[in-house]
Structure 1
Amino acid sequence: MQYIENKTFSELKIGDSAELTRTLKPQDIELFAVMSGDVNPAHVDAEYAQSDMFHKVIAHGMWGGALISAVLGTELPGPGTIYLNQNLSFRNAVGLGDTVTVRVTVAALEPAHRHVTFDCICLNQNGETVIEGQALAIAPLEKVRRPRTVLPEVHLHSRGERFEKLMQTTAPLPAVPTAVVHPCDALSLEGALEAGARGMIIPVLVGPRTKIETVAAGLGRDLSGVEIVDTPHSHASAEQAVALARTGKVQMLMKGKLHTDELLGPVVDKTTGLRTERRMSHVFALDVPSYPKMLMISDAAINIFPDLETKRDIVQNAINLARALGISRPKAALLSAVETVTSKIPSTLDAAALCKMADRGQITGGLLDGPFGFDNAVSKEAATTKGILSEVAGDPDILIVPDLESGNMIAKQLIYMAGADAAGIVLGARVPIILTSRADGVLSRLASAAMAQLYVHHNTKAAAP
């Protein structure tokens, strides 16, 4: 264990010195802005990032008082020091990637008040002086020795940032004709119209015309130029939307204000539905603040207790979606309660079988491993502690859950306790189905539409001669 120990006033001598070295990173600037509330564009906007004003302001705000204070409070004199004053001169700019060494040296001692004057200098990686001056502090009277505090790892996360980037990737792509099924509430209609305005879909609104127009009026949205297929109720809306997909008039479905089983009933009809040889499955895409990339979970909405063959399709559907989103070799972690194969836990046997199926080419396009407990699936540290050597452990793009119950609980816990944003689509039918909760906001609906649009265009490109 590391300790920090101070020097009391009586222990200090002229010429005593201490230093620390730090490198300026983009996240340092973001964290400083969050903590201080300073959102001056000259400090945080990218367009200013190479300007002299940016560098000098950052040098003043982050490296001047803050780093000198850190040396005084932790090194010399150390814990118990009271920082009174500083007089600093900024000689050169400090930029992103610069490494600054801060050194303080005892210049004067005033016993009556335990005042200590320090000469302060900050040098960059080239040995150039960027800051110099003096600081005044009260040295501690009593000796202190205590464990050095390990600072927490900080993750800065902008709400919806990954989803916005996902939507930006759709900008060059043509909009996809989409049947919006029973958009008879504000959220589902707003999401569909906004997706249309962003060029992701061409909405075909399938539902009672009067209700749709009433909702649009309440939102202040103009439906001019938007096709409406009038139907009497939600069941008819689902049936008509599926019929439009069968004839090729639309290439995607988007769920509105109706129950999931109302929508999927006509989809899975053996005669008039949209079934293929592939089992249908749902994929959650989650933007989890504490995870470094978008995380997919499947299946947490359709297949309750999937058998091995169904899990094969669940895995393949998720891999295909990840590849459509630009992940060239998606990593899929197969979850269970433990990381070893045991006959007492069937999901571990399924995980082992799925890995072998991938080896034999029955699952393609991704990298599978498992079984994993949730901890060693998402945490490299946890996997290392348990001696697990795997490219997937700690870095999965996809989590494949044992059953719907466990998957739904994991997804909802990440949403409601970890602050994750969620999107979701159903794959395995003739067309992708944008399937979100009726309570999901516009962002979730837009991100889901973006995923489906990318999936359609990826499949179209793959099928081209």
Structure 2
Amino acid sequence: MVKSFEEVLKKVKSLDIKKVAVAVAQDEPVLQALMQCKKEGIAEAILVGNENEIRKIAEEIGMDLSGYEIIHEENGPKAALKAVELVSSGKADMVMKGLIDTANFLRAVLNKEIGLRAGKLMSHVGVFEIPNVDRLIFMTDAAFNMYPDLKAKIDIVNNSVAVAKAVGIECPKVAPICAVEVVNPDMPSTLDAAMLSKMNERGQIKGCIIDGPLALDNALSEEAAAHKNISGPVAGKADIMVLPNIDAANVMYKTLTYTSNSKNGGLLVGTKAPVIVTSRADSFETKVNSIALAALVASCK
């Protein structure tokens, strides 16, 4: 089982190289990450954006553009549409946000004519390598779905399971995270957690093991679960954390990012191809990790 981003990168390099279309590519951190990905055999890229600015930045960072296709488009939303079209037409395997706001980028992704709609819910999956945790932790949804109901959470689970399987986890253990580990009628998230677990038990949600509700400590730590006499196949062994809403997920995501020595990456799935929506605040390493994760998911399409 893949347990670190070092192993993720190693796995990507063993597969056929994938190509990412970058929307509004005149962004220095993104170009640096793409340069590293090409150097390491993680992914190649098609750069869509202002060619003059792309070449200027490339010169400043010592990036050789001879091995890249560049499509000149000065208008940001049009560049995003072109990048998405490259993926929907099969000329690229995944799409990445460059120097464009997320709203305009996602409008292109969801375009009815050339977009990447797949007829199901789109959700964000963050992947963390956390010190003293012996496995990768998949966390969802910190960026896209605000207050998902049970139906949405089923899709969110399925999307995250697909990413975990692409990384190499054959049967992911899924923990619907709540404030407590018992079903409480006054806490709707615990009811959703119990329903997800029962649906999984009855074969309505396949390809994983779901058990919940679980509090975060009982999902992460076998010792914490044992202290509370909580047993089961997921207690203390969870691979996937399904947070109850965007508030909890976003706070957890940013807390791990800024207060620990964790490594991370993330992507949007539930589309016809992986969508990489990194923030300008994300580190160079996070961007490389995100491209690598997307390449693994693209390899399973």
- State the TM-score, normalizing by the size of structure 1: 0.62
Instruction: Confirm whether residue 400 of structure 1 aligns to residue 280 of structure 2.
Output: no
Greater share of residues in helix: 2
Corresponding residue for 1:177? 19
Corresponding residue for 2:36? 194
Corresponding residue for 2:218? 376
Greater share of residues in strand: 1
Corresponding residue for 1:238? 80
Offset at residue 208 of structure 1 (A): 0.9
**Equivalence map 1:69-108=2 (5 Å):** none
CA distance in 2, matches of 1:311, 1:270: 24
Corresponding residue for 1:295? 137
Corresponding residue for 1:284? 126
Offset at residue 241 of structure 1 (A): 1.0
CA distance in 2, matches of 1:188, 1:337: 37
CA distance in 1, matches of 2:6, 2:227: 36
Q: What SS does the corresponding residue of 2:96 show, helix, strand or coil?
A: strand
Q: After alignment, is 319-328 or 435-444 more displaced? A: 435-444
Corresponding residue for 2:97? 255
CA distance in 2, matches of 1:399, 1:225: 39
Partner AA of 2:255 in structure 1: Q
Corresponding residue for 1:42? none
Partner AA of 1:429 in structure 2: T
Corresponding residue for 2:269? 427
Corresponding residue for 1:357? 199
Corresponding residue for 2:175? 333
Instruction: Confirm whether residue 308 of structure 1 aligns to residue 150 of structure 2.
Output: yes
CA distance in 2, matches of 1:268, 1:247: 15
CA distance in 1, matches of 2:33, 2:62: 14
Provide the alpha-carbon RMSD of the alignment: 1.4
Among 64, 68, 74, which residue is 1:222 paired with?
64
The size of the alignment, in residue pairs, is 299
Q: After alignment, is 396-405 or 445-454 more displaced? A: 445-454
Q: What SS does the corresponding residue of 1:372 show, helix, strand or coil?
A: coil
1:174–1:200 CA contact under 8 A, matched in 2: no
Structure 2 residue runs without a partner (length 5+): none
CA distance in 1, matches of 2:125, 2:108: 20
Offset at residue 164 of structure 1 (A): 2.0
Corresponding residue for 1:387? 229
CA distance in 2, matches of 1:448, 1:246: 20
Q: What SS does the corresponding residue of 2:44 show, helix, strand or coil?
A: strand
Write the deviation string for residues 234-280 of structure 1: whole angstroms up to 9, x where unpaired.
Answer: 21221111111221111101222222222111212334321112211
Q: What SS does the corresponding residue of 2:64 show, helix, strand or coil?
A: coil
Q: What SS does the corresponding residue of 1:377 show, helix, strand or coil?
A: helix
Structure 1 residue runs without a partner (length 5+): 1-160, 460-465
1:174–1:199 CA contact under 8 A, matched in 2: no
Q: What SS does the corresponding residue of 1:370 show, helix, strand or coil?
A: coil
Partner AA of 2:43 in structure 1: I
Offset at residue 290 of structure 1 (A): 2.4
Offset at residue 442 of structure 1 (A): 2.2
CA distance in 2, matches of 1:269, 1:182: 17
Write the deviation string for residues 146-193 of structure 1: whole angstroms up to 9, x where unpaired.
Answer: xxxxxxxxxxxxxxx921221011222111121012122211111112
- State the TM-score, normalizing by the size of structure 2: 0.95
Write the deviation string for residues 323-347 of structure 1: whole angstroms up to 9, x where unpaired.
Answer: 1111111111110111111111111
Q: After alignment, is 328-337 or 437-446 more displaced? A: 437-446
Instruction: Confirm whether residue 203 of structure 1 aligns to residue 45 of structure 2.
Output: yes
Q: After alignment, is 422-431 or 261-270 more displaced? A: 261-270
Q: What SS does the corresponding residue of 1:191 show, helix, strand or coil?
A: helix
CA distance in 1, matches of 2:204, 2:110: 24
Offset at residue 289 of structure 1 (A): 0.9
Instruction: Confirm whether residue 452 of structure 1 aligns to residue 294 of structure 2.
Output: yes
CA distance in 2, matches of 1:249, 1:212: 21
Corresponding residue for 2:10? 168
Residue identity over aligned pairs, in percent, reads 38
Corresponding residue for 1:43? none
CA distance in 1, matches of 2:94, 2:80: 13
